[in-house]
Structure 1
Amino acid sequence: MKSVFCILAVLLLPLGTFAQSASAGDDGKNAVRASAMDASLFYQLLLGELNVQDGDPGAGYSLLLDAARKTNDPDLYQRAVTVAVQSRAGEAALQAVRAWMQAQPESREAKRTTLQLMLALNRLSDVGALLASELAATPLRDRAGIIAAIPRGFMRVTDKKMAARVVEQALADHLNRKETGAAAWVAIGRMRAMAGETAGALDAARKAVGIDAGDEDAALLALELMAPGQPLAEPLVRSVLEKNPTPEVRMAYARVLLDAQRPADALHQLELLTKERPAYAPAWLTLGLLQLQENRLEPAQMSLGRYLEVTPNPTSDAQQRAQTEAFLGLSQIAEKRKNFALAEKWLERIENPGDRIIITTRRAQLLARQGRMEQARELIQAWPAATPADERTRLMAEVQLLRENGKLVEAYELLGAAIQRKPEDHELLYDQALVAEKMGNFEAMERLLRALVAAKPDYHHAYNALGYSFADRNIRLAEARQLINKALEFAPDDPMIRDSLGWVEFRSGNTSEALKILQSAYKARPDPDIAAHLGEVLWVSGQREQALTVWKEGLREGSESETLTETLRRFQVNP
């Protein structure tokens, strides 16, 4: 009986709708709708919903669609469509929306539902006219907003090129109008970008800016297209910012510059933003963290402090996470200055319960920096672990603490004890092998990695780690290449494995091939370890200026990289 009561509750909404319609006016139409809900129709609707609930959606759909035709009620047409869609009966859903459109040809709700269904079913040939009709029925003041939302509706369409053409045709009448032109060209640009037509997308962004020189959506589109192959995208962004320096666009521009390994340019944009909009909190946070990364401690402290002033009482989860980042940054600044008491005070201000393990780990690091390793380990061990995932997090935090402070034997033993408890955890075996390598115990490392690939043959990290170790020690190079190529079979696009391959080629004397592989890997992922290898190959190839540039970029990404530090020491270089 419970399911019947639930169904009756569902039916109360249409009944309420009928009642409201009957009392809304006296034009006769509403009275017809209300009188249609007789006992027979009520039973038909109940039976239809029972069929749906009992696993026979086809029968339920038929009853619901028949009821919709009898009553001409849009809610029932919509329900019939929903039942068909949920049962993956695309043709039945189409039949329902066509019946709805035939019964109510002027209904915008019917048109919108039909449009959504056509998109879901990839029936693009029917979409253009519906989209144009929907836009024509939209008040002029609302059209730009509707147009801007169009690309989202096509994200799951498979034929993106045809979708781009359909949207372009549907927007033809809106391209040259002041009220809608910029939005229409941006929508076309996004459709072209989804279709892989980046040059056409950028051209559309330029046309949008031609209509509205300060259109921020056009600037955001151009930012998405910024790449070495699109040199005109960045000037377009700059031109919009000159006319309309919105914080969202400048902030997005700074992030794109950071992703492109241009920290100096990103800093400039963030500094401009903090001057233009001193109350815009995200700029202060990003600026402070970037300055900290550049080891500019004084300005970093000022920027992070300013962020906390601008956002004193965070309310959303995102603001609380950002505040945690600011406190952690300020704690790190104090730690770098060896003011451990102040570093601890900043940590004490973090209140988000979800950050407790981060706080505990940072406190443990502070204790270790002061030579209080036992207390540091006890602090982590005392962190309450409610789930197996928490226990693993706690374990890895302690292992990381030991590794970072040179306690490799203790880290190795800790991992070994954990493996005895959970021999099925392959990640622990891999981590123990890496610690063994750091200890210089290459025999143990090889034994552990070979045991790992025997237990899990598709664990490509193990093949790569062993092959790289051989290459780095300049031994068994043929076997190293074989192992690394095996890893690439599982992860052909992994930049770190490509780096290993480049390194073994360099060790084998194939300098030109190594350079090509390493340049590709570094472009895909500008990691400091890859920078170390690429810089060395460039250096020995006589391209010393390029090597210094790469090493300098690597230092910005990770000044604590052991590979990069050792490389610079060996070449006696301070880029």
Structure 2
Amino acid sequence: MLALSPRWRAATRHALAAALLAAGVVHAQSPAPAAQAALPAAAAASAPDNSALDAPLFYQLLIGEIELRNGEAGTAYQVMLDAARRSRDEQLFKRAVEIALQARAGDQALSAAKAWRIAAPDSAEPLRYQVQLLMALNRVPEVAEPLRELLAQTPVVEQPGLISSLPRFFQRSTDRKQVVDLFEQVLAPYLEANGTRASARVALARAWLAAGDSGKALALARRAQVDDPSFPGPALLALELLPTQPEAQRIVESYLNQPKAEPAVRLAYVRVLSGAQRYADAARQLEIVTQAQPEQPGPWLTLGALQLELRQPQQAQASLERFISLRQAAAAAPAGAASGPALGPQSSAAADGPDDDDAQGSDAQGDLAQAWLLLAQAAEQRGDLKAADAWLARIDSPQRALEVQARRAMLVARQGRITEARAMIQAIPERSPDDARAKLLAESQMLREVKQWQAAHDVLAAAAARQPEDATLLYEQAMMAEKLNKPAEMEQLLRRVIKLKPDHAHAYNALGYALADRNQRLPEARDLIAKALALAPGDPFITDSLGWVEYRLGNREEALRLLRSAYNARPDPEIAAHLGEVLWAQGERDEALRLWRDAQQRDAGNEVLRETLARLKVNL
């Protein structure tokens, strides 16, 4: 017998260890002699748990893993699958599936899963693999049988969870109607069972939504909520339906009105409301979250940001300072100390080393920097520029250097030192190619804030000349052209933006609103704004524009309805100016005055509000 060289023996041992661990044959090291001596006599006397690994299987596994390491995935798969069939070991079947998947051989992976199922008919794992592989191969009709069996083998208490997870398996299907048919066929018994009725309806509703029928999805979500009002599934689905089915909001509100509503659902609702710029509604929901879980820092940060959007600087400062105190307390706590119940599901990855801790620390520092930036904005809104600069001085983050310096430049510009402010922005180092563009946008924004319309227009025009296909630069230039009373240039630029980005809702809205505000081409203005609202359903500023054009067209009742809806979603001073004018024209002057006073308290410098009051000769 030829002796193996030490190097070959080491390589063989390494490959063998990998093979045995991968196959699940070796689960732990044998106890050391000292540990063996310490074992109780009863345990030592018990019968040993012998491994099923014999010499032929040992070398078969070794050969399979060596073939895989040598790039022979096909041979490794065949060897491993043969070993699995001989031993009927589930870990070896799983390893064969993994080898096939690693080689992107879907059909072979499916064959291994089927063989695994035959060898272990009472095991649910091969069924799960079979279902997922069939879906990945887009063989939807074949999924029915293993999926039905998987559901039948799942314990009753676990069936709702499995049913709820099914739509994720089918996200990549190219034939969504086939998935609906599959769900209706397989889930039929579960649509009538008490424990699974609600989850089955939600799963089927998600299939209909993916197939493009939001009406059927909404109807099923309603029935699911009736079946189980405490189940969050219908509310989460309703959040996805809101853009096309506004009635879905009733499902969300009905769920959230329950005492035991999950905070994660409320936070998801906050994200939807914020995305639709319904900041007042989002802030109200966050206030409920912070009252229920005051020790959770994250919601306080979001609440502070929303309060700033609503021009509530005092409330924003209180929320942001609360966030900072909680975040700093958590950072000072001993490692591993609990910081309160989590609001949502945590990552499945455990903290395996310093990299995870460093990442968490980095996130915490990023959150603190964001809070300091927001506190600086709150101080600006109060007119306390010194406090704003003090908050900005706390931020030491290279990633936020441009943002911080731009805010500092804004503070300088507000003191009338425009040239110095521009130089501050222009001197910011450029860390990436995008930084040059970001600096130009920051400079134009700063000039816009201090009403240097022409200078802002010139900066944007020069930038757009270098990047003529940049829709953002063109849109901002159009806004400055409007401020300079150059309607022809504004329209030309906005139509160019629309050509470059046909889904640019704000370009349609800006053009339509400009026409309506000048009382020109009102039917065209209404069509443009309606197009914008179709692209961004529920946007309060676009709804405000539509209300304004309806007022210009003489449709005062419709204008009132739209403007009230916009103001309720976002009580912005500009929307208040429009709503107040329609109320004034309707003779409801007390309500108009109340709205205008509230808007003036929020932002006395708002141009639209000031122009409206001056034109109507109203002295508040």
**TM superposition score category, shorter chain reference:** 0.7 to 0.9
Query: After the TM superposition, which residues 10-409 of structure 1 pair with which residues of structure 2 at under 5 Å, given as runs?
Result: 12-16=17-21, 17=23, 20=26, 30-31=51-52, 33-37=53-57, 39=59, 42-43=62-63, 45-47=65-67, 49-52=69-72, 58=74, 61-175=77-191, 179-226=195-242, 229=245, 231=247, 233-235=249-251, 237-239=253-255, 241-260=257-276, 262-313=278-329, 316=360, 320-350=365-395, 352-407=397-452
Match of 2:505 in 1: 495
Does 2:488 correspond to 1:469?
yes
- SS in structure 2 at match of 1:117: helix
1:187 shift after superposition: 2.9
Contact 1:209 1:240 in 2 (8 A): no
Distance 2:503 2:476 in 1: 26
Distance 1:563-1:517 versus aligned 2 partners, 3 A rule: farther
Distance 2:28 2:432 in 1: 57
1:60 shift after superposition: 5.3
Match of 1:511 in 2: 522
1:298 shift after superposition: 3.1
Contact 1:118 1:124 in 2 (8 A): yes
- SS in structure 1 at match of 2:372: helix
Query: What is the aligned length?
Result: 532
1:491 shift after superposition: 3.7
Distance 1:436-1:246 versus aligned 2 partners, 3 A rule: closer
Contact 1:330 1:343 in 2 (8 A): yes
1:350 shift after superposition: 3.7
**Counterpart residue identity of residue 526, structure 2:** L
- SS in structure 1 at match of 2:121: coil
Distance 1:146-1:319 versus aligned 2 partners, 3 A rule: farther
2:553 alignment partner, one of 541, 561, 564: 541
TM-score between both structures, scaled by the size of structure 2: 0.69
**Counterpart residue identity of residue 222, structure 2:** R
Distance 1:321-1:238 versus aligned 2 partners, 3 A rule: farther
Contact 2:64 2:75 in 1 (8 A): no
- SS in structure 2 at match of 1:214: coil
**Counterpart residue identity of residue 15, structure 1:** L
Encode CA deviations 1:68-111: one digit per residue, 9 max, x unaligned: 44554545544443444455444333333333333333343322
Distance 1:102 1:50 in 2: 30
TM-score between both structures, scaled by the size of structure 1: 0.74
**Greater CA deviation, 246-255 or 58-67?**
58-67
Q: Structure 1: any 5+ residue segments left out of the alignment?
A: 443-467, 473-479
Contact 1:48 1:63 in 2 (8 A): no
Distance 2:515 2:475 in 1: 26
Distance 1:287 1:429 in 2: 31
Distance 1:124-1:9 versus aligned 2 partners, 3 A rule: farther
Q: Structure 2: any 5+ residue segments left out of the alignment?
A: 1-6, 31-45, 332-359, 575-602
Q: Higher relative contact order by CA 8 Å / sep ≥ 6: 1 or 2?
A: 2
Distance 1:549 1:318 in 2: 44
1:541 shift after superposition: 0.8
Distance 2:213 2:198 in 1: 19
Encode CA deviations 1:461-491: one digit per residue, 9 max, x unaligned: xxxxxxx73575xxxxxxx69x93x765654
Distance 1:291 1:218 in 2: 29
1:494 shift after superposition: 2.9
Q: Which runs of 4+ in 1 moved over 6 A?
A: 4-8, 21-29, 412-420, 503-509, 526-529, 560-563
Contact 1:535 1:548 in 2 (8 A): yes
1:120 shift after superposition: 0.6
- SS in structure 2 at match of 1:492: coil
Identity %: 33
Contact 2:214 2:245 in 1 (8 A): no
Distance 1:290-1:121 versus aligned 2 partners, 3 A rule: same
1:289 shift after superposition: 3.0
**Counterpart residue identity of residue 388, structure 2:** A
Distance 1:146-1:549 versus aligned 2 partners, 3 A rule: same
CA-atom RMSD in angstroms:
4.7
- SS in structure 2 at match of 1:92: helix
**Counterpart residue identity of residue 537, structure 1:** V
